[in-house]
Amino acid sequence: MDPSSRPSFIERLSSLLMREPEDREQLLHLLHNAFERHLMDADALSIIEGALSVADMPVRDVMVPRAQMDVVEINDPPEKIIELVVKTAHSRFPVISEGKDDVIGILLAKDLLHHFSDKEFDLRGSLRPAIFIPESKRLNVLLREFRASRNHMAVVVDEYGGVAGIVTIEDVLEQIVGDIEDEYDFDETEGTIVLDNSGSYRVKAITEIADFNAAFGTHYADEHFDTVGGLVIHHLGRLPKRNEVIDIEGLRFQILRADSRRVHTLLVDPQKGLPLTVTEE
């Protein structure tokens, strides 16, 4: 049979969806049917499910909350701003005047390049307009507005007009593609600590400190945080990035999965072969 005459992916999927679904539940059932019949892979299914989910999700569910906002104060000197940019690795920053409720604009990190060519860098004159949105705005609407306006950040306000947080286009896109299963994901039936093929251990960030201590023979305190993810964030003093590595009292932690809001999965290397009691793959 001529390979060119074989039905395309779209044609095969269309034949499966020939009976028009009456609601989202039926649509998802048909999509899972397509996955089970190998008409689409797990990545494609996850992306479609993520795209459908953003229509029901309000901004408040994905925003970076006010307490975790990295902001620039309008009177900060360029040197201090550059230090913040290097430390956080963000590309955009809300600029405030009297406090976090007084956002006067957005600073793009690339605009700081003018500081090196022009010693009279004008922070106020470099600001882009801040876009304010309510906590209840749906993510699909926000994504459409981001694309139309070419803005990548919005300031989220509560019902009283106070700043509740910020949201970026990356936060929205993560809801669509951020949960794609990869080699670092756990099956729901697996334990929170699993032996990796490399001899290290994959650990869910939500693993409680007490359980981690019992498995690894460690003595991490849990006075200020309850989970392993909290332990890593505490020692770094910020949210870590994927593949970042940190040593904590004899154990090496590598960040396998993380987004702008939380840590998901860690790779732990005992380094000294501490005895463990965990589930092997």
Residue 14 pLDDT: 59
Closest listed residue to residue 253, CA positions, set 237, 265, 238: 265
| C-alpha–C-alpha distance, residues 96 and 106, integer Å | 9
Q: Where are the beta strands (DSSP E) in 90-244?
A: 92-96, 103-108, 132-134, 153-157, 163-168, 193-195, 201-204
CA geometry: angle 119, 120, 122, nearest 5 deg? 125
CATH number among 3.30.465.10, 3.10.580.10, 3.50.50.60, 3.30.390.50, domain 60-177: 3.10.580.10
Per-residue pLDDT at 73: 93
**E strands, the chain, in order:** 64-65, 72-73, 92-96, 103-108, 132-134, 153-157, 163-168, 193-195, 201-204, 245-248, 251-258, 263-269, 279-280
Q: Where are the domains of the chain?
A: 7-56, 60-177, 193-280
Alpha-carbon torsion 162, 168, 169, 170, what sign?
negative
Topology of domain 193-280 in CATH is 3.30.465
Q: What is the pLDDT of residue 275?
A: 43
Distance in Å from the first CA to the final CA of the chain: 41
Q: What is the pTM (predicted TM-score) of this model? A: 0.55
Tens place of pLDDT for every residue, the chain, 281 residues? 455 555 565 665 555 555 566 667 777 777 777 777 777 777 777 777 777 777 778 888 888 888 888 899 999 988 888 888 888 878 889 999 988 999 999 999 888 887 777 667 778 888 889 989 999 998 988 988 998 888 889 999 988 889 999 998 888 887 777 644 444 455 544 567 888 766 788 888 888 998 998 888 888 888 888 888 888 888 888 888 777 888 888 888 888 877 666 788 888 887 644 444 444 44
> Residue 132's closest CA among 169, 105, 172?
105
Lookup: tokens for 196: 């990796």
Query: How far is Cα 209 from Cα 220, in angstroms, rounded to an integer?
Result: 7
